[in-house]
Amino acid sequence: MVARFLLYIGFLATIALVMAQSPQDCTAPPPPVSPKLCCPFMDQGPVYNESIYFDCWDRYAEFPLVPIAGGGIAGGPAGCAAECLFSKLGLLLHNQHYTLVDFYALDSHVKDFVDGERYEFIRQAMRYCVNESNVRAPIFAEIQRRPAVIDGLDNCNPIAGFAMSCMHFYAIRNCPDWTPDATEGCDELLDFYNQCPFNPY
């Protein structure tokens, strides 16, 4: 699905996930297995301008990025990197009070990279997750206005990281060709995402 657009989301390693009476610890990062090993549909090339994304990572290079088996990274300031990416690609709308994700700009960008059934699946994820992100815009604006968490680094607006993480969840939970026996840990990974709802705010 959203391939590396989703795999590079260290935001997942710090996001708060809560589910009552769940055997999973939903406050912990997901199992260290690359989803593309379990879902070949996710391993069909990038759906965004990778060079821009890595430029954004370089802005926060002093924060450690932890490789995970099979590709992808966990940890690091992925929320800020996501905001940087969305800003550079013109995917954010700013009004007097809130920052919103522009679905049509995101859709137009993705069309340059994918087509056919893969595009239709990605579009479903984008539509769902952009809506989920934008309804939380007031909360994200408040988070951004809070005192800086890291000295010398203004708080980033979490909306872009939330949207990317949401699409990651959507891709795994709705993967059309999930292959549980592809590698060790696929069952545990899917179980994590099925038990831990994406509703941290």
User: Using one digit for the tens of pLDDT, what is the confidence trace for 47-98?
Assistant: 777 788 888 878 766 655 544 444 444 444 667 888 889 999 999 999 888 9
**Is residue 73 within a helix (H) or strand (E), and if so which, with residue range?**
strand 73-74
Domain residues for the domain of 144 are: 3-195
**87 in a structural domain:** yes
Inside any domain, residue 117: yes
Instruction: With a cut of 70, list the residues of the chain below it in pLDDT.
Output: 1-24, 60-78, 148-154, 197-201
Q: What is the pLDDT of residue 23?
A: 66
**Distance from C-alpha of 58 to C-alpha of 185, rounded to nearest angstrom:** 30
From residue 174, alpha-carbon distances to 39, 121, 153 in Å are 10, 9, 36
Give the integer Cα–Cα distance in Å for 29 and 11.
10
3-state secondary structure of 150: strand
Comparing CA positions, the residue from 7, 13, 153, 172 lying closest to residue 84 is 153
Nearest by Cα to 195 from 18, 1, 15: 18
Identify which of 87, 93, 13, 12 has the alpha carbon closest to the alpha carbon of residue 53.
Answer: 87
The sign of the torsion formed by the CA atoms of 42, 46, 48, 54 equals positive
Is 137 within 8 Å of 123 (Cβ atoms)? no
Q: Is residue 201 part of a domain?
A: no
pLDDT at residue 91, rounded to an integer? 96
Looking at the domain assignment, is residue 144 inside a domain?
yes
Q: How many domains does the chain have?
A: 1
For residue 200, is it within any domain?
no
- At residue 61, the pLDDT reads 62
Q: How far apart are the first and last CA of the chain?
A: 25
The confidence score (pLDDT) of residue 108 equals 94
Is residue 139 situated within a structural domain? yes
Gap between the Cα atoms of 125 and 127, Å rounded: 6
Token couple for 14: 């710090």
Instruction: List the CATH number of the domain containing 11.
Output: 1.10.238.270
- Distance set, CA 154 to CA 24, 147, 157 (Å): 33, 8, 9
